[in-house]
Amino acid sequence: MSDAIRAETVYVGDEKIQAYRAVPLGAGPFPGVVVIHHLPGFDESTKEMVRRFAANGYLAICPNLFWREAPGASPDDASAFVRGQGGIPDEQIIGDVRTAADALRGLTGDDGGPAHNGKVGVIGHCSGGRQALLVATALPLDAAVDCYGAFALEPPPAASGLKMTSIKDRLGDLSCPVLGLFGDDDKNPAPEEVDRLAAILAEHGKSFERHSYEGAGHGFFAPDRPGYRPQAAVDGWRRIFAFFDQHLGGKRLQVQEAGV
């Protein structure tokens, strides 16, 4: 499997939502992944994740959830503005992720580009982890990955200025299996909140594969932040690709099934 990719900024849907897309250079068909950026915004580290998925045989796209509120602004400025407004409404997030997923499903290969295999997963870190769970309760998805999603069960403290609400009453509507990756030293979500999340999903009969890492706190996947924990991040990426390969039909799973 080649790791050659094409990555670029695109505009998708009727509203021409700004998004960053990366695709393998090959016919496919390939599975799709929507990457939901964290509260710091549509930044370079998130775009690197999009490219990583493409290099591993996925059609990947990240919609800029802040494009309406701060068009043309830098990620830092856009994030600051959105924080000041209390965040992005949940229904708007759901709509933009739906548009991004539909853009992946629309890649048929008829134009000479790669084709989609019909399956779409979603992944998010921090606030994006909460939003990955959120959209999986509202959209027909095939797999979701929640990387230390904060404030899924309880709203953030009033001092934060964020207006997120609990999504625990939505969790019975989850459309797909969920992989959750967390740090034992995290405060948002703390291990006790992750325990509650697991219990709620179990009550609803939902598939929830959970892994927590000793010595890791919030943001352990981010190599440009003090909380980066290489061992946890490497193992986390391994689990992410194994999970998506299993539920989305990734190329590596096809290779294994063929006995190569």
Q: CATH no. for residue 82? A: 3.40.50.1820
DSSP string, the chain: ----EEEEEEEETTTTEEEEEEEESS---EEEEEEEP-TT-S-HHHHHHHHHHHHTT-EEEEE-TTTTTSTT--HHHHHHHHHHTT---HHHHHHHHHHHHHHHHT-BSTTSSPBEEEEEEEEEETHHHHHHHHHHTTS--SEEEEES--SSSSPPPGGG-------GGGGGG--S-EEEEEETT-STT-HHHHHHHHHHHHHTT--EEEEEETT--TTTT-TTSTT--HHHHHHHHHHHHHHHHHHHT-HHHHHHHTT-
CB 123 within 8 A of CB 132: yes
Q: In the structure, what pLDDT confidence band is assigned to residue 257 with cuts at 50, 70 and 90? A: very low
Q: What is the pLDDT of residues 156-213, one digit of tens each?
A: 988 888 999 999 999 999 999 999 999 999 999 999 999 999 999 999 999 999 999 9
Q: How many domains does one find in the chain?
A: 1
pLDDT of amino acid 2: 66
Angle of helix 90-105 versus helix 127-136 axis, rounded to 10? 70
Parallel, antiparallel or unpaired: strands 17-24 and 178-183: unpaired
pLDDT of amino acid 253: 44
Which residue has 């352990």 as its token pair?
Answer: 220
The structure's pTM equals: 0.93
Q: In the structure, what pLDDT confidence band is assigned to residue 260 with cuts at 50, 70 and 90? A: very low
Q: What is the pLDDT of residues 128-164, one digit of tens each?
A: 999 999 999 999 999 999 999 999 998 898 888 899 9
Mean pLDDT, rounded, for 82-108 = 95
Provide the domain limits for residue 43.
5-257
Q: Whole-angstrom Cα distance, residue 72 to residue 19? A: 13
Nearest Cα to 76, choosing from 89, 61, 66, 63? 66
Give φ, ψ of 75 to 5 degrees: -55, -40
Parallel, antiparallel or unpaired: strands 5-12 and 17-24: antiparallel
Mean pLDDT, rounded, for 1-11 = 88
* Identity of the amino acid at 29: P
Which residue has 């964290």 as its token pair?
Answer: 38
Q: Count how many residues are written for the chain.
A: 260
Report CA torsion sign: 125, 130, 131, 137.
positive
